[in-house]
Structure 1
Amino acid sequence: MTYGDSPPAVQVGWTDSATPKKAYPQDDDTNVPLRTWQDDSGKSHTSRVYATYDLSAYEGKKIYSANVFLQKRSVADCSKRAVEIWRTKPVTSTPTWNRPAAPLAKLGEILTPVQFCPGATITFDVGAAVQDAVAHRQRYITFEIRVPEQHESDASYSRGLHPYRGVQLSTQFNSMPQIDSAHLYNGGLPCTQLKPYPRIGGFARTLQAVGTDVDEYDQGSVTTEVAIWPKANPDARHVYSPWSKKCFFTHDRTAPTVTSSNYPADTTGEWGPAGVPGIFTFSGNRNKDVAGFEYSWSELGAHACSASGDYGQWE
């Protein structure tokens, strides 16, 4: 089963060519500028956006996909759109125009006109970049979002991103199942790599392992495979995963009869007398196998059973 997540942002902000030594971290009130514009004095400004995310929670997990979403709030010209996304060397604070994050690879671009203006959402597939960062145990990944160089000085391509939802990273992942090395057994004897090796055979030739999965909804569906090979010939490898022996049980679906003298079965849609204790009679209908009864206002439990051992074996 795959799970969706949004890793925490370490920094989201922008740079400004007119103030090349200053960084502008995102706040919750100001549109994130992805644009070129002129101030009241006629001075030209060009901004690029940077976003860094913490991937440490994905160590040991398999990334299936990842997307960066840009939520626009303002658009200069709905007939024009040109946006690029780059992966850069990771930075944990917003860079400046003079000291930008070093680019690593261009991940995508969109050059088509806006269909829903101005509030359209742009989606970039960054799955390969996130997979690479996780595979190389890089805690942070940084993206640069900019207008392509050939259009960057053209104010008609300017955009303003939402101050709170402007840049977001979403992932689809699954935790990798693990084998509990403390519970490996050969014929009931603990796993060992030291001589003398345990001799197994006859009825004591079972190989046992315990698999675990940290994902909540995958914990009950972990299956394992066992591979065996002669020590002197590792290439003669065989996967050992046969079905277990058959088990049989009888499911008794016969329910007891329940009657009441003052709370009869609700056949008329009316309830019994208010404030009067109910008297109920349980009958096993003379079935000699019936040893007792259990009742509840909701679900019934496993009567007189308890779990023991490390793995909850019922007794």
Structure 2
Amino acid sequence: MRVATPRWIAAVALLTTAASTVVGAVPASADIAGPHYDVESSFNAYTDSASPDDTTYFPSGGLAPVGTSVDENGVTHTSRAYAGFDISGMNDSRLQRAVVTLPDELGADCTAARDLTVRRTAAFDGNDWADPPATQGAAVAVTPSDACQPVTPTADVTTMLDRALTKHETELWIEIRVPQRHEATKRFARTLSFNDVRLQVTLTNQAPDKPAKLGVNTSDQPCTDNFATNSDFDVFANMSDRDRNPGDVLTPEMEMWPTSDASAVTPVDTGIQSGFDGLFGSGYIHGKTLPDGRYGWHARTYDQRAYGPWSDPCYFTIDHVAPATAPTVASPDYPENSPTPIGGTFDYGTFLFTANGSADVVAFAYGMDGFQSARVDADQPGGAAVVSWYPTSSGHHSLTVWSVDAAGNRSQPRNYALNVA
């Protein structure tokens, strides 16, 4: 008895996608490398010798009998199953291995005799037991799984898939049966669970590329050898891979070491970021707890099958020591501790800041009455800076200035006393 029309079956079989993956396909796991394609069948049916002119399409519960059985009325049934898989967009040039998994129904006797074969066929087009689809090539024996439950036998269909892809076919059609020598023997009959049948395709793998873009704090801030900090910070490395169809799931790995002992390598905590080609992997360096010194770090990419080469190293300096002396401050417009009020609210004055002998000073932070509101770079390490600044209220106030080193450490403040008119 037919339970679906050929027209409806054709509509299901023609479901495709313009993307590089396949309908029903899922990407490989980010934790465990699976097949590059894991494709469920887009068509399944079985035929029965007891009803030679009928076909059961998409059987209830996905359960399809294969082999010979006798029903409660004493009628003998010999069945063969058929499946179609959407293979459009698959990469034939990298094809390494393809298997079809053929799990038994849940609870099946996994110790029972099993002898199944898989064979490529022409497209299933209204066929039945009396008029089966033409077979192509040799049959492949199904290999039982080692585990008893769940029972998931597999058949190697690499050659079948390669021939189909070489001919630019978009579907792979197969027949699943007990071979003729045992097909009439009841103890070799099985019931397949088509809901769990899969075409699993593994491609030859190329290792990811060497990361060429390293960043600190953000992926847009290039890594430079003069980067210094006293805090925790993020590091980034671009992830790319030549395997683009389908794209591998990529994950970063990073290491760091003190330049004083290049053998003291420790892993860098990496973020959960992973994805496909073009994304940045991230790491987190605990700069607050690192001893002062110079360090290197590098990164590589893992595609769940192989590691790419390490990037060139990037260096940074950890510095927790503030500049030793407070800066000097002078102004011709606002002399310090003027006995009489001078200048005025919002009246600009010129101020000179110097590092006061601290060679590691690269900038000055400043603001009114102990609050930082601005920063200016020194003209050179350990140098000076000239700024225009105005007080925002009259009376006795101070211009507070700090020397700042490359790591962001601030010196003790210099409070420059003002008497504002």
State TM-score, norm by structure 2. 0.42
Q: 1:120 aligned to 2:151? A: yes
**CA shift digits 1:44-63 (9 cap, x unpaired):** 11110111101102156521
Q: After the TM superposition, which parts of structure 1 deviate over 6 Å for at least 4 consecutive aligned residues? A: 292-295
Partner residue, 1:41: 73
CA contact (8 A) 1:14 1:32 kept: yes
Q: Which residue of 1 aligns with 2:127?
A: 95
Alpha-carbon deviation of 1:19?
1.2
Q: Is 1:57 paired with 2:89? A: yes
The structure with higher relative contact order (CA 8 Å, sep 6+) is 1
Query: 1:173 is aligned with what amino acid?
Result: L
Select the residue among 138, 163, 182 that pairs with 1:132.
163
Taking the aligned partners of 2:407 and 2:195, their CA distance within structure 1 comes to: 55
Change (3 A) 1:172 1:110: closer
1:159 aligns with 2:223: no
Residue 167 of structure 2 aligns with an amino acid whose one-letter code is H
Is the 1:147–1:157 Cα contact (8 Å) retained in structure 2?
yes
SS of equivalent residue, structure 1 residue 124: strand
Deviations 1:110-152 (A, max 9, x none): 588x865574221111112212221221111111110011111
Alignment of 1:158-177 (within 5 A): 158-165=189-196, 167-173=197-203
Q: What is residue 108 of structure 1 aligned with on the other side?
A: 140
* One of 60, 84, 97 as aligned partner of 2:117: 84
Residues 242-257 of structure 1 aligned to structure 2 (within 5 Å): 251-255=315-319
Identity of aligned residues (%): 22
The 1:16–1:250 alpha-carbon spacing in structure 2 relative to 1, beyond 3 Å, is: closer
Are the equivalent residues in 1 in contact too, given 2:44–2:194 (CA < 8 A)?
Answer: no
Report the Cα distance in structure 2 between the residues aligned to 1:14 and 1:249, rounded to whole angstroms: 60
Alpha-carbon distance in 2 for matches of 1:109, 1:139 = 24
Determine the C-alpha separation between the residues in 2 that align with 1:7 and 1:111: 19
Is the contact made by 1:72 and 1:118 (CA closer than 8 Å) also made in structure 2? no
* 1:197-247 residue CA offsets vs partner (Å, 9 max, x unmatched): xxxxxxxxxxxxxx9763254746xxxxxxxxxxxxxxxxxxxxxxxxxxx
C-alpha contact 2:110 2:151 (8 A) present in aligned 1: no
Counterpart amino acid of residue 199 in structure 2: L
- Find the counterpart in structure 1 of residue 177 from structure 2: 146
**Given the superposition, is the C-alpha separation of residues 289 and 71 from structure 1 closer, same or farther in structure 2, using an over 3 Å criterion?**
same
1:187-266, aligned counterparts within 5 Å? 214=244, 215=247, 217=250, 219=277, 251-255=315-319
Aligned-CA RMSD value: 3.9
Structure 1 spans left out of the alignment, 5+ residues:
177-210, 221-247, 259-284, 296-315
Aligned to 1:16: 48
Partner of 2:64: 32
Residue 7 of structure 1 and its aligned partner are, at CA, apart by 2.6
- Asked whether the equivalents of residues 48 and 145 of structure 1 are also in contact (C-alpha less than 8 Å), the reply is yes
1:46-95 per-residue CA deviation (whole Å, 9 max, x = no partner) reads: 1101111011021565211111111112657935221111111233x673
CA drift at 1:157: 0.8
In our comparison, the structure showing a higher alpha carbon Rg is 2
Unaligned runs of 5+ in 2: 1-32, 207-240, 251-275, 279-311, 323-357, 364-376, 378-403, 409-421
Aligned: 1:68 with 2:132:
no
Separation of aligned partners in 1, 2:146 and 2:204: 34
Secondary structure at 1:150 match in 2: helix
CA contact (8 A) 1:75 1:158 kept: no
> Is contact 1:67–1:124 with CA below 8 Å preserved after alignment?
yes
- In 2: Cα distance, 1:155 partner to 1:23 partner: 21
TM normalised by structure 1 equals 0.54
Q: Distance in 2 between matches of 1:55 and 1:148?
A: 26
Partner SS for 1:22: strand
